[in-house]
Structure 1
Amino acid sequence: MDGDRMITLNEGGVSRRGAIKATATGAALGATFALSVQPIQAQTMITTPADGLTAGVVKVKTKDGKEMDAYRAMPASGQGFGTILVVQEIFGVHAHIADLCRRFAKAGYYAIAPELYFRQGDAKAVSDMQALLREIVSKVPDEQVMGDLDATVAFAKGEGKADTAKLGITGFCWGGRIVWLYAAQNPALKAGVAWYGRVVGDSTPMTPKHPIDIAKDLKAPVLGLYGGADTGISNESVDKMRAALKAGSPAAQKSQIDTYPDTPHGFNADYRPSFRKEQAEDAWKKALAWFKANGV
């Protein structure tokens, strides 16, 4: 798929409509790629069909009474599915994140990706990375994100198909950091998988604490998946996080961080040049095994 094609999402499945131009603005959640990551690497991009799934956009009622869009996928029949919160990259819930939800659904899970920036703006419609960081991402408070994730779990439970007693969370880039924070916040969480999320940072009103600050307080074990050649997340900071986990809670001590040598940030992002097929496939297997081993 190239940047001028759109995936149209319906409850029953996914259909391609070639030659229909689309931008992120006004498109269904998960239907297009963020403008800031164009052009797309069509030759490596993975597209997971929705046959055998119930997949599409749903409305989640947040604690402050607002409606938040989320992309949800699950097997079309059955119930009692383990539940996985899928936390977006910095680019919002675009087509790659929706595809990851379908991949989890194909593995038998109820997967849901809430649009966690929805109060601040549509990250998919911003073409300039610096503007995205300045105008949207920097204005998203961690406290808001934690509350919206809790609301998403309540929505999943209310649908009657998910077993939220078997709750996991995974996130990528911006969402990888959120995984660590949520694992310290929700005692009902069974496990997390954090993909290349930063672990250190400055304390700000929006982000008062970072993973290394709360490592000792983890309530669920987290598997960290990192690239050894990540130019934005140093190996030194990851090693510090490992040390903090060893000195932490039982869940923290059960956690682990795997680093892939000579591998860049975003190695699972199959639509970008950073994609590394071998590492991504290995990490995906590890993620599924981690959730299974920890009761998700």
Structure 2
Amino acid sequence: MANESRSCPCDIGDRLDYGGRGQEVQVEHIKAYVCKPPASTDKAVIVIHDIFGWELPNTRYIADMLATNGYITICPDFFAGREAWKPSDDWSKFDDWLKTRDARKINKEADAVLKYLKEQCGAKKLGVVGFCWGGIAVHHLMMTDAELKAGVALYGLIKDSDDTSNLLNPTFFIFGEKDNIIPLHQVTLLEQKLKKNCKVDYEIKIYPGQTHGFVHRRREDINPQDKPYIEEGRKDMINWLNKYI
């Protein structure tokens, strides 16, 4: 478990004992996990990992779940070969570690992945989802890449000073009511900025009683009181993608 000085409770929740049904591929300078649906499709979703990296079983489980719902899914290593964070690492060094992995400086990797999806997978309709660190990345990409027709940012940290409202395409924001690194006043500020300036569809939803990481980190059978909200969050994510892709 993380020590008392941890900066992000991303290790809260349960690791899934899950191997994945996709395959690993090389996409230019990065590795990626790819899963394809049973039927041919031109719809694809990029899944952006949290601080624990692209190999985390929980994230691959979500990628596979999206694939079973009709999307080519790809979970690239947005750390580009640099080590992911481990729960056993010293959280007092987390801020220094994070400085070399800026979620807003991933456009090079995103461009490589988009090229791969279009040229190698025949994808024409593209979306993106991301968790925690990946939620920040989704928010950034939805303000910078018009090719992404829908985005779902799950518990991505917001700062009061962030430029948050210049979304290019519909974006859905998922937050937990009891998330102790994303205070509700920051969510309210995001909503105010979007309401004032955003020109595209968006939605912000806060799930009662839920903590950081609940959509991809909690196992329904171990946390029965959370099960309805886990399922609701996953269904909401899929419904948003279905609506706009």
Q: How do residues 14-93 of structure 1 correspond to structure 2 at under 5 angstroms? A: 37=11, 41=14, 45=16, 47=18, 50=21, 55-61=22-28, 67-80=29-42, 82-93=43-54
Q: Per-residue displacement from partner, 1:144-188 (whole Å, max 9, x unpaired)?
A: 3122112111111121x342x311110001111111111000011
* Residues 176 and 206, structure 2, Cα contact 8 Å, conserved in 1: yes
Residue 270 of structure 1 corresponds to which residue in structure 2? Answer: 218
Q: CA deviation at 1:226?
A: 0.5
Q: 1:70 to 1:262 in 2, by over 3 A?
A: same
Q: CA distance change for structure 1 residues 271 and 70 in 2, over 3 Å: closer, same or farther?
A: farther
User: Is contact 2:176–2:210 with CA below 8 Å preserved after alignment?
Assistant: yes
Output the CA distance in 2 between the equivalents of 1:46 and 1:56.
17
One of 143, 148, 163 as aligned partner of 2:109? 148
Distance in 2 separating the partners of 1:69 and 1:91: 15
Cα gap change, 1:70/1:287 in structure 2, threshold over 3 Å: closer, same or farther? same
- Cross-structure match for 2:202: 255
Task: Report the counterpart of residue 188 of structure 1 in structure 2.
Answer: 147
Write the letter of the residue equivalent to 2:164: I
**1:278 maps to amino acid:** P
CA RMSD, 1 decimal: 2.6
Structure 1 counterpart SS, 2:36: strand
Residues 71/286 of structure 1: CA separation in 2 closer, same or farther (3 Å cut): same
Within the candidate set 231, 245, 266, 2:194 is matched to 245
So what's the TM-score if we normalise by structure 2? 0.85
Which of structures 1 and 2 has the bigger CA Rg?
A: 1
SS in 1 for 2:172: strand
Q: List aligned pairs for 1:197-212, cutoff 5 A.
A: 197-200=156-159, 210=162
Structure 2 residue 163 is the aligned partner of structure 1 residue 219: no
Answer with 71-80 or 220-229: which moved more: 71-80
**C-alpha contact (below 8 Å) 2:139/2:153 kept by paired residues:** yes
Tell me the residue number matched to 2:4. none
Q: Which residue of 2 aligns with 1:27?
A: none
| Amino acid of the structure 2 residue aligned with 1:195 | L
Give how far 1:242 is off: 0.5
Consecutive unaligned residues in structure 2, runs of 5 or more: 1-9
Output the CA distance in 1 between the equivalents of 2:83 and 2:71. Answer: 27
Letter of the 1:223 partner, please give it: F
* Alpha-carbon distance change, 239 to 125 in structure 1, aligned in 2, over 3 angstroms: closer
Letter matched to residue 214 of structure 1: T
Partner of 2:134: 175
2:62 corresponding residue in structure 1:
100
Question: For residues 96 and 30 of structure 2, what CA distance do their matches in structure 1 show?
Answer: 19
Letter in 2 for 1:127: S
Structure 1 Cα separation of the partners of residues 103 and 17 of structure 2: 31
Cα gap change, 1:85 to 1:128, in 2 (>3 Å)? same
Q: Any idea what SS the aligned residue of 1:214 has?
A: coil
The structural deviation recorded for 1:141 is: 3.3
**Contact preservation (8 Å) 2:41, 2:71:** no
Consecutive unaligned residues of structure 1, counting only runs of 5 or more, are: 1-35, 62-66, 203-209
1:26 alignment counterpart = none
Question: Once the 2 structures are TM-superposed, how far is the Cα of residue 124 of structure 1 from its aligned partner?
Answer: 5.2
**Relative to structure 1, is the Cα distance of residues 117 and 262 closer, same or farther in structure 2, using a 3 angstrom cutoff?**
same
